Amino acid sequence: MSEPKPTILKIGGSVITDKSKELDVQMQAINRLAEEIREANVQNLIIVHGGGSFGHHLAQRYAITEGFKKETQRIGFSETHHVMTVLNGLFMDALIWRNVPAVSITPSSCIITKNGRIQCFEDAPLKMLLKMGFLPVLYGDAVLDTKLGFAILSGDQLVSVLATRFNAERIIIGVDVDGLYDVDPKVKKTAKKFTHLTLEELKELQSKLDKSTAWDVTGGMFGKIAELLPAIEQGIPVTIVNAAKPNYIYKALKGKKVKSTLIEKE
């Protein structure tokens, strides 16, 4: 019997924190999303959440993405990883208090990167959790790196690797905008949203997307798209949806019609 295909849900740091303010958690959004996840009751679900204003500011301050170069970065690595466990704890609280059998998996304890790319990933506990009907929750994290000493592993890379490894049914990416636009909708009011894109169309669009990243050390929307390409190439559909708006994630999880961008291989 073939393994059931999981759904991978990314909850963006742009939704559960205010990225413009350091360590600013949006508890209301976390609680609402936990409610929507419980209500949707999707089997074989894996959640990854981003770092938002918990991860990115500290990672930037201590130049964690550049690797281990000086002593003063050591405490920065500890701090960056620690604040992510704090944000993750708040997210886990919200799920578990609602009777969702979620179990946190700490990426820095089971993943090592090489030049920022996942090199080794001990996924046996994750597989077993899924099999036993738990909801594994991972997050963007500061991890050890065989070339750089340490690095930042984005939630987006994690989503893509989980999806390709476990041959996911679909990927749902929750952000704080209604989908993928031709330009950043927060910068340009007249930005045009795409409803549906093929892999070919996405690749064409990619070169035109803005690379400026503001408070995102992992490349913002541009980095996200680049990470998702291998999963889309493997035939896994990606829905980008606004997780800041009530019930959008619920509807996406239930496969109901919702304002979003759907990206498919063909």
Ligand X SMILES: Nc1ncnc2c1ncn2[C@@H]1O[C@H](COP(=O)(O)OP(=O)(O)OP(=O)(O)O)[C@@H](O)[C@H]1O
Q: Please report, as ranges, the residues that interact with ligand X according to CB under 6 A.
A: 12-14, 50-52, 155, 175-177, 180-181, 183-186, 209-210, 216, 218, 220-221, 224
Give CA–CA dist 145/117, Å, rounded.
Answer: 8
Position 18 contacts Mg ion (CB under 5 A): no
Residue 176 interacting with Mg ion (CB under 5 A)? no
Which is nearer to ligand X, 19 or 170 (by Cβ)? 19
Task: Give me the least distance between CB of 3 and ligand X, in Å please.
Answer: 27
Which of Mg ion, ligand X, none binds 6 (CB below 5-8 Å, type-dependent)?
none
Please give the Cα distance from 101 to 35 (Å, whole number).
13
* Least distance between Mg ion and beta carbon 116 (Å): 14
Binder of residue 35, out of Mg ion, ligand X, none (CB less than 5 to 8 A by kind): none
Q: State the residue number with the nearest CB to Mg ion.
A: 216
Helix (H) or strand (E) holding 81: helix 73-96
Phi, psi of 24 (to 5 degrees): -105, 105
Burial class (CB in 10 A: 0-12, 13-18, 19+), 213: middle
Partner whose binding site includes residue 210, from Mg ion, ligand X, none (CB under 5 to 8 Å by kind): ligand X
Q: Between β-strands 135-139 and 102-104, what pairing exists: parallel, antiparallel or unpaired?
A: parallel
- The answer to whether the CB of 243 falls within 8 A of the CB of 220 is no
Report the chain's C-alpha Rg in angstroms: 17
Residue with tokens 């063909």: 266
For the bound state, the minimum distance from the C-beta of residue 262 to ligand X, rounded and expressed in Å, comes to 14
Stretch that binds Mg ion, among 113-121, 123-131, 192-200, 213-221 (CB under 5 A): 213-221
Instruction: Compute the distance between CA of residue 160 and CA of residue 165 in angstroms, rounded to an integer.
Output: 8
Choosing among Mg ion, ligand X, none, which partner's interface includes residue 39 (Cβ < 5 to 8 Å by kind)? none
Neighbours of 21 (CB within 10 A): 12
Quick one: 40 or 161, whose CB is closer to Mg ion? 161
Q: Which residue, 35 or 216, has its beta carbon nearer to Mg ion? A: 216
- Report if residue 36 touches Mg ion, rule: CB under 5 A: no
Q: What is the binding site for Mg ion (CB under 5 A)?
A: 216
